[in-house]
């Protein structure tokens, strides 16, 4: 039993580690690919289509070789999920374009409380005081180290609301679909990736043209661009798989809270690799955020142990009604045995 728990803990740490490393790696690769100082490949939505196309290809190969088994999920649920996921991607891109960086960061931070509220509404999930306190600490910490100027306009506000709601709903749906159909994270991803890839590759260039005013057909491809696109797509496979894996094993709230470790890593690597400014305010915010993540992990583990003890106590204890019925059965059984013996004699 202890060995199983150890293996499970190592597997959980591996899933989180894969998500953090791949997410930070893809941000660094995309920064080089999309920045003006890099290759100025500014077609973010189309690039996401490439990501899902490669992910779909990996899923297809995996199913063909028998590495993963395909389970049935109704097509309407896959289409609905893909629509929500693509709305999330487009909404985030529009929010980043129309809003200031400060308001964009605030909208991303708001996903944690939004996910909490949506899980409470959809799944009647309750949270302890310790978990709520940890969430507040993480939000404050990440807010201190990332939020700068805050400017709001009506279009940007609407896009941010759509992005936050659709992203939160998508992350909750990943976990609920896995539980509902007893399907693994990679199997679910391999079913939704082709739908997302086709739709993003068809509509992505139009969305990018609206966002940037540039056509992807006019962009000059070089060997460096191809290398970074392939690197970005490869990292996206690990990022997508680990995201589904983490949400399936934990929850959308845990994914959001602990996922902000990526923000801390991005700020640190940006300072080390791209000469980004790292102020005392950034450092203080990162320390607060990491402290909040530690508190959150402790609070979740404490809640799990408390639930396990309650469940064990409920399982091993009898209610008054059960005791009364048991006593009645004990009192009746000897009489039946006596009657049976007399009948035989």
pLDDT tens-digit map of 210-248:
888 889 989 988 999 999 999 999 999 998 888 888 777
Q: Is the pLDDT of residue 195 over 70?
A: yes
The mean per-residue pLDDT over the stretch 311-317 comes to 53
Question: What is the predicted pLDDT for the residue at 31?
Answer: 82
SS3 letters for 235-292? Answer: HHHHHHHHHHHHHHHCCHHHHHHHHCHHHHHHHHHHHHHCCCCCCHHHHHHHHHHHHH
Structure tokens at 112: 């944690």
Phi and psi at residue 65, in whole multiples of 5°?
-90, -5
- Cα distances from 15 to residues 172, 194, 236, 240, 255, in angstroms, run 18, 23, 14, 11, 11
Angle made by CA atoms 256, 261, 263, in degrees to the nearest 5: 90
Q: How much of the chain exceeds pLDDT 70, in percent?
A: 71
What whole-number distance in Å separates Cα of residue 173 and Cα of residue 191? 14
Write out the H or E segment, with its range, that includes residue 102: helix 101-109
**Among 20-34, 158-172, 221-235, which is the least confidently predicted range?**
20-34
Contact between 51 and 241 (Cβ < 8 Å): no
What whole-number distance in Å separates Cα of residue 199 and Cα of residue 315? 49
The mean per-residue pLDDT over the stretch 1-9 comes to 54
Question: What is the predicted pLDDT for the residue at 342?
Answer: 45
What whole-number distance in Å separates Cα of residue 305 and Cα of residue 312? 10
DSSP class of residue 217 equals G
Contact between 40 and 34 (Cβ < 8 Å): yes
* 304 compared with 197, residue with greater pLDDT: 197
Contact between 163 and 99 (Cβ < 8 Å): no
Structure tokens at 84: 């929500």
Average pLDDT of the residues of the chain: 77
pLDDT tens per residue, range 121-161: 887 777 777 777 877 877 777 777 666 666 667 888 888 88
- Cα distances from 164 to residues 30, 91, 123, in angstroms, run 22, 8, 19
Q: Would you give the distance in Å from CA 223 to the centre of its chain?
A: 33
The mean per-residue pLDDT over the stretch 159-170 comes to 88
Instruction: Annotate 290-318 with b (16+ C-beta within 10 A) or e (fewer).
Output: bebbebbeebbeeeeeeeeeeeeeeeeee
Measuring CA to CA, which residue among 115, 49, 51 is closest to residue 259?
115
The mean per-residue pLDDT over the stretch 42-61 comes to 91
* 317 compared with 345, residue with greater pLDDT: 317
Radius of gyration of the chain from Cα atoms? 26
Q: Is the pLDDT of residue 84 over 80?
A: yes
Q: Is the pLDDT of residue 324 over 70?
A: no
């Amino acid at each position: 039993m202890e060995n199983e728990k150890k293996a499970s803990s190592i597997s959980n740490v591996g899933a989180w580690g894969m998500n953090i490393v791949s997410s930070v790696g893809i941000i660094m690769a995309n920064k080089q690919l999309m920045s003006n100082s890099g290759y100025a490949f500014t077609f973010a939505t189309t690039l996401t289509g490439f990501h899902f196309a490669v992910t779909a290809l990996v899923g297809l190969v995996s199913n063909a070789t028998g590495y993963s088994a395909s389970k049935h999920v109704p097509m309407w649920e896959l289409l609905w999920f893909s629509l929500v996921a693509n709305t999330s991607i487009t909404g985030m891109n529009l929010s980043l374009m129309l809003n200031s960086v400060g308001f964009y960061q605030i909208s991303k931070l708001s996903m944690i409380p939004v996910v909490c509220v949506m899980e409470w509404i959809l799944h009647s999930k309750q949270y302890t005081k310790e978990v709520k306190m940890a969430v507040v600490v993480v939000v404050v910490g990440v807010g201190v180290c990332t939020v700068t100027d805050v400017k709001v306009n009506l279009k940007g506000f609407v896009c941010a609301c759509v992005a936050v709601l659709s992203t939160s709903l998508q992350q909750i749906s990943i976990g609920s679909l896995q539980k509902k159909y007893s399907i693994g994270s990679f199997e679910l991803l391999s079913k939704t990736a082709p739908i997302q890839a086709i739709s993003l590759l068809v509509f992505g260039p139009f969305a990018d043209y609206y966002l940037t005013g540039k056509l992807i057909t006019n962009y000059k491809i070089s060997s460096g661009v191809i290398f970074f696109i392939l690197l970005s797509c490869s990292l996206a496979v690990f990022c997508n798989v680990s995201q589904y894996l983490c949400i399936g094993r934990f929850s959308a709230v845990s994914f959001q809270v602990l996922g902000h470790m990526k923000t801390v890593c991005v700020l640190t690597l940006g300072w080390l690799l791209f000469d980004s400014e790292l102020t005392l305010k950034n450092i203080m915010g990162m320390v607060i955020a990491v402290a909040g993540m530690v508190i959150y992990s402790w609070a979740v583990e404490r809640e799990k142990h408390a639930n396990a003890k309650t469940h064990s106590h409920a399982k091993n204890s009898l209610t008054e009604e059960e005791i009364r019925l048991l006593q009645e059965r004990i009192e009746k059984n000897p009489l039946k045995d006596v009657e049976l013996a007399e009948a035989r004699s």
